[in-house]
Structure 1
Amino acid sequence: MSETYEIDENGEPAGAAPDMLPLDAWHRERGGRMVEFAGYWMPVQYEGIIAEHQWTRQHAGLFDVSHMGQLLVPGNSADPAVEALLPIDLSTLKPGMQRYSLLLAEDGGILDDLMVSRWPDGLYLVVNGATKWDDIAHLREFLPDEVTLNHLDECALFALQGPEACTALERVATGDQPVSALTFMRFGTFRIGDAEVTISRSGYTGEDGFEISLPAASAAQIADLLCEQPEVKPIGLGARDSLRLEAGLPLYGHDLSETVDPVSAGLAFAIGKRRRAEGGFPGADRILSLIADGPSVLRVGLALQGRMAAREGATIFNGEQIVGSVTSGGFSPTCERPIAMGYVNAALSAPGTKLEIEMRGKRLAAEVVALPFVPHRYHRKGA
């Protein structure tokens, strides 16, 4: 997940200290309880994880995700070089479009999952905060010398998520089109306050919502403008995690890693049709074989009986046989029960399969269920 630090006698990190994001003081002034995550101080909650989770499901939550890496590959000639590292088909990514993709190792393991957009001046990538420095090093090593990679480290990144996000954002964002004209995985350029921003209709909660790339110098002004809207409250990392778990979305460093391939992870949709036919991306032989023959394990959803949650690393049993392990787990405020994701033998991945999860020496009854746990409410084109 993130770097770990030894704690001194005062309860503070010893040695390398977490960095501060542009909104650090803003979060603290609003009662954000700050924790170290991905090498930064970030708010885990303000008034409580369940309350913030439910507010986002019903209204709109503002998440500061400025720890994530924003990268730009400028120009329009870098597609072949980028395609050599990702399984995406960039010929189908038109201006104004965004797509999910994967940074792959030579053996087909997942180095990171990321978003790729066709900006007017090049390809814009958003990578995970905990892996961004490794991602940047990997890209700079394997992209040709003539391909430039810019780290947009003077930009902040917000996510405004929830069914009332569009209503709130449209009051403060102006542009050649209204924000409401954007559909899922489309973006445009707008102004909020004194700043030019890029807004995409996307997010990590399963709800309708937006991600906003903005100048770091304008972060407090724009956060204030958004939170002045009656639909919007600031939301911490805790609710972001419970929301993405309910949405069945994998988290890198937990559900995804270098030891996991895209097919086993249920992410084969990220392998473009042309790339399946032509290959030419890292791990193509292995991944295409898994698509054809099926993997030995699969990521599944698990609904638990009782009130005890299963946590990452818990062992999954079929009778006395170990058949997998939990990679994410917690209590679902929406489902009002513990839920989890994990990898199990493919033969046991069908919804309805009864399994057990061992936690603290106890066996918890669990059932494989279809993902997502809570239906996505993305604002898709034509819906």
Structure 2
Amino acid sequence: MSDHDEDVIIETLALPLDGWHRARGGRMVEFAGYWMPVQYEGIMAEHLWTRESAGLFDVSHMGQITFRGEGVVPALEALMPADIAGLAFNRARYSLLLDENGGILDDLMLTRQAASEEDGEQVYMVVNGATKYDDIGHMIEHLPDEITLNLMEDHALLALQGPKAVDALSRLIPGVETMVFMQAGSFDWQGHDLWISRSGYTGEDGFEISVPAEAAEAFADALTAQPEVKPIGLGARDSLRLEAGLPLYGHDLSPETTPVAADLGFALFKRRREAADFPAAARILAERESGPATKRVGLLVEGRQPVREGATVIDASGAEIGRVTSGGFAPSVGAPIAMAYVPLAMATPGTRIQLSQRGKTHAATVTAMPFVPHRYFRGAK
């Protein structure tokens, strides 16, 4: 080793609302390369507040990307199994960025934005914070030169989630109450252009709001001035998404998992299956037909002790046959829950399984997900 070799120190970055979180007592931790609030008054209280009222989450670490250029829709379809061409303008869709073997490089949300004469068609995408630069590198490598990719580093992203989110947001931005789940649009707030989708990561009704960074603090103040809204940290975001049965990339999803094994078959759209023109389509469609070797399932864990990521699923002899990828105590369920990959033969709800964590054995039962019902707003009944 030469005298000039040094360990590379990667600085943890601050998001636009860093000072705002600290001023409100946010306990900051490093996450995906950024300082993020893990909690304010406590994970349990913040979780239950979001389920009952409205919680404000700072998810500005996520990658907000726009794509435009001639043929942008087929170009993006070549990288994922989404039917973007069949998506109405200003509608959002969940999809998966796949590698050449069918492994999941990331899960993402995309919206087909209404075309303008000036800019042509545009697709807006939100990808995970920890993978955004890898995603961008992969997409630049595989997209045609005529497609322009723009990382919106000058925007914050806020998620307002919970049954009263619509009451709070519609006071500030009239019109959002007419939107339905997975609908998006552009709105003005005090001269700032906001991009808002009725979506989220908690299983609750709510909105994700892209706001210019310079307006983020004033907008967060305006939201938390509403009686329904409190700031919520990463801890409750994780317990909420786990109860909602939503996988977290880097934990429940990875390049070693396929859409079928991850129980995300709904993301394989019929037109795309019939054309078999997405990455590793032959492998994924064969797996869809015959079943994957292992499958992501929900688990209800007996007792009060949560099992955590990394615990193993074991057979009668104690041999490892699967792995827990997310786990914790579920405040709304009142019991420990988990997600795990288990052999396909054990993936049926009601199947009893054994888990091993730090030398202790725990009993669990495979259960259908979500653990709590989704409450997305799909229109007046």
| TM-score, scaled to structure 2 | 0.94
- Within 5 A, what are the aligned runs for 1:36-185? 36-75=30-69, 77-121=71-115, 122-174=122-174, 178-185=175-182
CA contact (8 A) 1:19 1:40 kept: yes
| Residue 299 of structure 1: aligned partner | 296
Q: 1:8 aligns to what?
A: none
Partner of 2:199: 202
Q: Which residue of 1 aligns with 2:358?
A: 360
**What are the Cα deviations for residues 151-176 of structure 1, in whole angstroms up to 9, with x where unaligned?**
111111000000000000000014xx
Q: Which residue of 2 aligns with 1:315?
A: 312
Q: Distance in 2 between matches of 1:65 and 1:273?
A: 32
- 1:224 lines up with 2:218 in the alignment: no
**Cα distance in 1, alignment partners of residues 70 and 296 from structure 2:** 36
Identity, in percent, stands at 59
CA contact (8 A) 2:259 2:284 kept: yes
Does structure 1 conserve the Cα–Cα contact (< 8 Å) formed by 2:70 and 2:147? no
Partner of 2:271: 274
Q: Deviations over 1:96-132 (max 9, x none)?
A: 1000000000000000000010112400010000000
Distance of 2:315 and 2:296 partners within structure 1:
16
Question: How far 1:90 sits from its partner (Å)?
Answer: 1.4
Measured in 2, the distance between the counterparts of 1:91 and 1:118 equals: 9
Match of 1:242 in 2: 239
Aligned residues: 367
Shift in Å at residue 382 of structure 1? 5.5
Alpha-carbon distance in 2 for matches of 1:215, 1:114? 21
SS in structure 1 of the partner of residue 266 of structure 2: helix
Q: What is the CA–CA distance in structure 1 between the aligned matches of 2:13 and 2:245, rounded to whole Å?
A: 30
**Alpha-carbon separation, structure 2, partners of 1:193 and 1:229:** 17
State the shift of 1:16 in Å. Answer: 1.6
Query: In structure 1, what residue type is equivalent to 2:377?
Result: H
Structure 1 contact 172–193 (Cα < 8 Å) conserved: no
Q: Deviations over 1:196-234 (max 9, x none)?
A: 101100000000000001101100000000000000000
One-letter amino acid of the counterpart of residue 231, structure 1: E
Unaligned runs of 5+ in 2: 1-7, 116-121
Q: Which residue of 2 aligns with 1:349?
A: 347
Partner of 2:373: 375
* One-letter amino acid matched to 2:141: E
SS at match of 2:242: helix
- Measured in 1, the distance between the counterparts of 2:9 and 2:204 equals 39
Q: 2: CA distance between counterparts of 1:318 and 1:208?
A: 40
Corresponding residue for residue 119 of structure 2: none
Q: Output the CA distance in 1 between the equivalents of 2:316 and 2:176.
A: 52
d(CA) in 2 for partners of 1:293, 1:220: 51
Q: Supply the distance in 1 between the matched residues of 2:176 and 2:163 (Cα, whole angstroms).
A: 14
Is this contact kept in 1: 2:74–2:85, CA < 8 A? Answer: no
Q: What 5-or-longer segments of structure 1 have no aligned partner?
A: 1-13
Q: Distance in 2 between matches of 1:62 and 1:194?
A: 22
Which residue identity does 1:279 align to in structure 2? Answer: A
Task: Please give the TM-score of this superposition, normalised by the length of structure 1.
Answer: 0.94
- Cα distance, 1:323 vs structure 2: 2.3
What corresponds to 2:324 in structure 1? 326
Q: Which runs of 4+ in 1 moved over 3 A?
A: none
Distance between the aligned counterparts of 2:60 and 2:220, measured in 1?
Answer: 12
Q: Retained in 2: the 8 A contact 1:355–1:368?
A: yes
Q: Helix, strand or coil: the match of 1:355?
A: strand
Assess, with a 3 A threshold, how the Cα gap between structure 1 residues 294 and 266 changes in structure 2: closer, same or farther: same
**Pairing 1:339–2:341 present:** no
How far apart in 2 are the matches of 1:342 and 1:355?
11
Partner of 2:12: 18
The CA RMSD over aligned residues, in Å, is: 1.1
1:287 partner SS: helix
Say if 1:323 and 1:345, in contact at 8 Å, map to a contact too.
yes
Task: Indicate if the aligned counterparts of 1:206 and 1:243 stay in contact, CA closer than 8 A.
Answer: yes
1:324–1:344 contact (8 Å) kept in structure 2: yes
Partners of 1:63 and 1:235 within 8 A in 2: yes
Residue 209 of structure 2 corresponds to: 212
Measure, in 2, the Cα distance between the counterparts of 1:221 and 1:171: 15
Separation (CA, whole Å) in 2 of partners of 1:319 and 1:244? 31
1:120 is paired with a residue whose SS is: strand
| Residues in 2 aligned to 1:322 and 1:196: alpha-carbon distance in whole angstroms | 52
Q: Report the Cα distance in structure 1 between the residues aligned to 2:315 and 2:351, rounded to whole angstroms.
A: 9
Change (3 A) 1:290 1:381: farther
Alpha-carbon deviation of 1:272? Answer: 1.2
